[in-house]
Structure 1
Amino acid sequence: MASMSTIADSIDQVGPPVPEEDEARNNGSELQLTRLSPWRSQITARGILVSLVIGVVYSFIALKLNLTTGLVPNLNVSVALLAFVFMKSWTKMLQKAGIVSAPFTRQENTVIQTCAVACYGLAYGGGFGSYLLGLSGKLYEQAGAGTPGNTPITKEPGIGWMISYLLVSSFVGLLALVPLRKIMIIDYKLPYPTGTATAVLINGFHTAKGDKVAKQQVRGFMRFFSVSFLWAFFQWFYTGTDGSRCGFSQFPTFGLEARQNMFYFDFSMTYVGAGMICSHLVNLSLLLGAVVSWGVMWPLIRGRKGEWFPAMSPETSMESLNGYKVFISISLLMGDGLYNFVKILFFTIRSIYSQMNNKDRRTFPENQSKPMDELQRNQVFIRQSIPLWLVLSGYAGFSVISTIVIPIIFPQLKWYFVLAAYGLAPSLCFCNAYGAGLTDINMAYNYGKVGLFIFAAASGKNDGVVAGLVACGLIKVMVSISSDLMQDFKTGHLTMTSPRSMLLGQAIGTGIGCVVAPLTFFLFYKAFDVGDPKGEYKAPYAIIYRNMAILGVQGFSALPHHCLQLCYGFFGFALVANMLRDLLPGRIGRWIPLPMAMAVPFLVGAYFAIDMCIGSLIVSVWHKMNGKEAALMVPAVASGLICGDGLWILPSSILALAKIHPPICMHFTPS
């Protein structure tokens, strides 16, 4: 904590007090203004404690989703709601006990949300379900031991090296774009839809009307949280000693044959809640991908056993059906990613060019025409400065530490490759953060894949797989965190929260996440069979990333027979589908499926797509019955379903580690 206070002292500069918006009256432009509290008071001990609790809960949720389907919906709104619930309950309890406490402000709410999101963000962005798990011996075996390019160099998951890796790789991304925050938030006025939506929600909570609405949402959240938790607890009694073959998830909803082809409803409230948050197009695209793959393609290819692939090879081998599943998924992901990467890069360059030609954008008359509340926000955002020397020295220092430590943990990735990655990263961070500001799409995974192929090919056949996976993680984490921080700066700008407190809150959350995320992962890893392609926690992206690294080292010779032609077809489909969605009129284009969403069921199966479509159905019916209530309550109900089911993972993991098994195995067989 001494080092953290040193940083705080460094960025604390004396300046005149700036007014803040204490409560916005939505029915007019009149604002009730008070003095802005010092930025240090926006980061409180109680806020950090609440962030820790929320971060731990959401780390379990994010890891479950990451290790089962690889899809994690945006949970920022849910985190902001929970932060408000915890803090309001805290202050009311103290008030009833006669203890005077500082008032809970929107600025403290914003910092808690930022800190908690930074914490749980490492649970799905830290590579536990993708590139880090792809280094393990289990994934080496799945990718085909002895396959050309799949070198037998592995690194088993370990708490020590995982925490060290995250600590040296995560903090660099916090500092990459801090000097550009004014340009991107104030000068270019990038919308950052997620950051804006979170700010609107937080500002709404801290009004008289918003407090009443929040109470209604809290009741809905707690009701469905309890239902979801108790339902998960009830299901546990029927999962026997093998949860992947026993329990309610084995119920043959559409018949036993459909169940064998992964078409069933698995009674998971997590996916139902996620489906309520995700758009209808995402959920329908998932279902379409499941029908195309498990309903049509895999039964046909399985019938070609002995012709297209060896009859004696196990189905999990890359030389058999699993090879088609993995590489066709990769082709869909790469096609979709390439199209969106080029499109966003085009819009980014065009927007920057337009902004540079707009020479009068900073003139005094234009500033005079701005509304008073915007001028106040800009004043707070600019005056609460962060010293450039601190940012540059911090980036250089963390880069040097990482360049020394990473090759010690992974000797296959040479120090000069790490240095090259950090030299390249700031430009990639800017492109991604600018594109995310325009489109709300974080393309960090695509930048990571580019790094994976480059460093895998450059490192040679012996070291290429490991070097490619680790370099992919370095770039992906940096690019993702810098974009998330800019989203948070947008939220802070709209809630008049000091950029200093936002940066320090993000740093605290990242530090907590570097410890919490590996510990949470190890609960899963020790309690469940993570990475088993037939189990519950398949970790589908781990095998995808390892095979992309093999592809970068070996080339197309790693593909099974006729797989390359199928990959070309699906890669082309991804490009055409995206192009049609952009070129066709909106009423038609909005029904074109999303190739990236279609790719996930190719590996995992149809069950979670069915769950998420049920979530969409609930939302549709609710909107038709009572649209106003649905708009208000859907986020709270969905969050309750996700959190209740997700929280049960903690006691179930502890029971599994203690060798306490459910008493009943519910399974279905033909009569």
Structure 2
Amino acid sequence: MSISNPPRTSGSQRIPVPWHLKADIPQVTLRGTIAGLVIGTVVLISNFQFGLQTGWVSMMSLPSALLGFAIFKLSPFSNDFTDVENVYVQSIAVAVGTGPLAYGLIGIIPAMEHFLTSDESGLGRTLHFSTTDLIVWSLGLGFFGVFFAIPLRKQVIVKEKLPFPSGNATGILISVLHGTSLLEEEFKSDAPDVESNEPEEQNQVSLAANDANYKSNIRSLSITFVASAVYTIVSFFIPILKSLPVFGSYASEAFLWNLQPSPAYIGQGIIMGLPTVSYMLFGAILGWGVLSPLAKYQGWAPGEVDDWKTGSQGWIMWISLSIMISDSLVSFMVMAARSVSRLVGSARRAHSQYQPLLGDRGGDGDNASVATSYDTGLDPRHLVSDKASFVGIAVSSIICAISLKFIFGQLVPLYTILIAVVMALFFSILAVRALGETDLNPVSGIGKLSQLIFAVIVPSNHPSKILINLMAGGIAEAGAQQAGDLMQDLKAGHLLGASPKAQTIAQLTGTVYSIFLSSIMYKVYNSVYEIPSKMFRIPTAVIWIDCARLVTGEGLPPNAWVFSLVFGVIFGVISLLKNIIPKESKNHKYLFYLPSGVAVGIGIYNTPNFTLARFIGGLVTYIQMKKTGSSNQRVHMIILSSGLVLGEGLFSCFTMLLTSLGVKPL
């Protein structure tokens, strides 16, 4: 049965289409593809801008869904634009927009180009990638994560019903915008709550979406978008607006304490929430208010503060790295242990006489049958077969090996590429489960763990050991990132009855487009701007290269190793407590006061001006929520923040054009 035009009653109300027939509604459309690519382009530019500046990248699935609806709402096609086609649009947009992170263009590639020395490259010279090289590199990393995710869908979404909070929120928002219903069985799960850094806020987004007012949200999005765009243009001509010495000239000049009132940074703080930005502020105070002056006055870092080699900025960076690695790895290991335990338990129950086919969440046999029926109820032509998945994994892995050998040649042995891809497969499984349970994809921890493993695999005397270490981390990160992105989209689509095959097509379409656009945009940024610089600090690249040097045996600055070890242990213990103490425990409420190691590390690494603006955004959200006491306010704040982020991100292209034309600030 094909539903080309869903039946309608009088007015604009649709006759509800049963969930199991929704997949028959046309979804892979030319108009939807174009809309998704356009929205994804905006998100990609925004992610490039802020990824190179601060290392922050977002899926932007909620704004993409809202923009997709808005585009068609204002067009003659608004009457037949369905919720499942909207899922297709936002799936393409997410695949395009996350390209800078998935292909390592804000971390791995800048680390290789800007920080890898001639000796470390194994070539006797530094590395520089052409546009063709970048396209081939991205092609190699672009697909295997997608195919890794497909076989996991039935297990983690259909059987276990993992929450995937962002995908859940996106599905609910789309259902509200289109006035359609969701898969009711998904909300009858007796699964316990799971640990998350911001679970309450994510749940508020989902619950509040039902009260969202479309016209008010579009108006708010437009106003904040324009305000952010105006700031971007004005601050180009008046650079002082990017670095206000609000703490006095001495603090500004000696220790870089400034405020950058960037609307985008404020918007990012709104999205992050007060707890996360508070931890970042704590990191900024610890790093730039305590450790940086200490290192300078003790003579451990005698150079200028912003000197990476001899200054305190480079000295505290090692402490930042130690904290983030410790937190990420402890969290990752706990998640991995839980995943293995649950998979073992699920396998045992699957062979149990009394509880067949149950997921790892328990329940009775009837519930399990209901869960699986929603998958088998779909027409097989809307599902991606296991055969197609495995062929896709094999072909994409071969493409990865060929691509990387084409770029690096004899510098990188073939066995290291194959091991990295196999490791990426297992890391993707863990990443998907972690994302499904906590809404956090631990790509940073996965990348660092991969680097640690390859420090053991690759001989210490290999001339390209640093280069191989970076490459392996990039492969692991790409697989985990793409698998997680697709699974979030599949969760939203599952709630609405969208075709999994259509969503896979969306992911592949967006990936192909993003491979070329991301590579071109990377070259544009590097040709127009000085990178690295005070404006584009490429923090992720510095962390990647320094982690590679650390695990392969390079020494640290004076006394940095002592502080790194102490703070690494402290935040490792904190991470362990935050991950093993259950929500039901009476002590769980006190975990709020223990800072997140990743957030603290980012606060130490980035100069204070990046953190202060984000803290303002988080504080504004907290005050607004306290005033109204309404969860709907959270949705409204996220939409406001989306306009702030997209406005500055998109209009950065305009200031980039001015820079390339030689236009000077006032």
- TM-score scaled to structure 1, two decimals? 0.85
Q: How far apart are the structure 2 equivalents of 1:381 and 1:396? A: 26
Q: Which residue of 1 aligns with 2:389?
A: 391
Output the CA distance in 1 between the equivalents of 2:268 and 2:636. 14
Alignment partners' CA distance in 2, 1:51 and 1:587: 41
Q: How many Å separate the matches in 1 of 2:341 and 2:3?
A: 36
Is residue 649 of structure 2 the alignment partner of residue 646 of structure 1?
yes
- Match of residue 620, structure 1, among 619, 622, 633: 622
Higher mean alpha-carbon deviation, 416-425 vs 471-480, is at 416-425
Partner of 1:577: 574
Residues 474-483 or 153-162, more deviating: 153-162
Number of the residue aligned with 1:139: 115
1:529 and 2:530 aligned? yes
- Residue in structure 2 matched with residue 404 of structure 1 by the alignment: 402
2:544 pairs with 1:559: no
Match in the other structure for 2:222 = 222
Provide the residue aligned with 1:257 in structure 2. 250
Q: CA deviation at 1:288?
A: 0.3
CA distance in 2, matches of 1:361, 1:217: 46
In structure 2, the residue matched to 1:204 is: 176
CA distance in 2, matches of 1:313, 1:351: 51
8 Å contact 1:425–1:475 — kept in the other structure?
A: yes
SS of corresponding position for 1:590: helix
Determine helix, strand or coil for the equivalent of 1:397.
helix
Worse-superposed segment, 575-584 or 113-122: 575-584
Q: For 1:498-517, what aligned pairs fall within 5 Å after superposition?
A: 498-517=499-518
C-alpha deviations, 1:107-137, integer Å up to 9, x for none? 111111111001111123322221111011x
The alpha-carbon deviation at position 198 of structure 1 amounts to 1.1
Distance change in 2, residues 1:271/1:21 (3 Å)? farther
Runs in 1 of length 4+ with deviation above 4 angstroms? Answer: 16-23, 37-40, 148-153, 208-212, 311-315, 365-378
Moved more, 271-280 or 630-639: 630-639
Structure 1 gap segments, 5+ residues each: 1-15, 24-29, 96-101, 240-246, 665-671
For 2:241 and 2:132, the matched residues in 1 are separated by 37
- Which residue of the partner structure matches residue 425 of structure 1? 424
Residues 1:74 and 1:38: Cα distance change in structure 2 (over 3 Å) = closer
- Closer, same or farther: CA 34–107 of 1 in aligned 2, 3 Å: same
Structure 2: segments with no counterpart, 5+ residues: 9-14, 181-208
The answer for the alignment partner of 1:519 in structure 2 is 520
Deviation (angstroms), 1:140: 3.6
Inter-CA distance 371–182: structure 2 relative to 1 (3 Å threshold): closer
User: Does the Cα contact within 8 Å between 2:121 and 2:467 map onto a contact in 1?
Assistant: no
Match of 1:595 in 2: 597
Asked whether the 8 Å contact 2:448–2:473 carries over to 1, the reply is: yes
Which shifted more, 221-230 or 369-378?
369-378
What is the Cα deviation at residue 435 of structure 1?
2.2
Kept in 1: contact 2:316–2:604 (CA 8 A): yes
Counterparts of 2:379 and 2:434 in 1: how far apart (Å)?
22
Is the partner of 2:18 in helix, strand or coil?
strand
Once the two structures are overlaid, the 10-residue window that deviates more, 47-56 or 615-624, is: 615-624
Q: How far off is 1:382 after superposition?
A: 6.4
Q: Distance in 2 between matches of 1:418 and 1:47?
A: 36
Asked if the contact 1:273–1:639 (Cα under 8 Å) also holds between the matched residues in 2, the reply is yes
Deviation of the 1:18 alpha carbon: 9.6
> Out of 53, 64, 81, which is 1:79 matched to?
64
For the residues of structure 2 that align with 1:257 and 1:384, how far apart are their CA atoms? 64
Q: What amino acid maps onto 1:529 in structure 2?
A: E
Give the aligned partner of residue 233 of structure 2.
233
Structure 1 counterpart of 2:241? 248
Instruction: Give secondary structure in 1 for the equivalent of 2:233.
Output: helix
Match of 1:484 in 2: 485
Tell me the alpha carbon deviations over residues 270-317 of structure 1, each in whole angstroms, 9 at most, x when there is no partner: 100011111211100110000001001111111122xx35x5799634
Contact 1:283 1:616 (C-alpha < 8 Å) held by counterparts: yes
- Residue 631 of structure 1 aligns with which residue? 634
Separation of aligned partners in 2, 1:605 and 1:172: 36
Give TM-score, length-normalised by structure 2. Answer: 0.85
Residue in structure 2 matched with residue 13 of structure 1 by the alignment: none
Cα contact 2:267–2:614 (8 A) shared by 1: yes
Q: Distance in 1 between matches of 2:6 and 2:342?
A: 31
**Preserved contact between residue 20 and residue 35 of structure 1 (Cα < 8 Å):** no
Q: Which residue of 2 aligns with 1:190?
A: 162
Report the identity percentage: 23
CA distance in 2, matches of 1:227, 1:70: 24
Residue correspondences, number? 614
Partner in structure 1 of residue 339 of structure 2: 348
Are residues 1:90 and 2:75 paired?
Answer: yes
TM superposition shift of 1:415: 1.3
CA–CA distance in 2 between the matches of 1:435 and 1:21?
A: 37
**Match of 1:90, SS?**
coil
Post-superposition offset of 1:49: 1.0
CA distance in 1, matches of 2:304, 2:258: 27
Whole-angstrom distance in 2 between the partners of 1:275 and 1:224: 15
Query: 1:39·1:500 contact (CA, 8 Å) conserved in 2?
Result: no
Of residues 34-43 and 182-191 in structure 1, the stretch that sits farther from structure 2 once superposed is 34-43
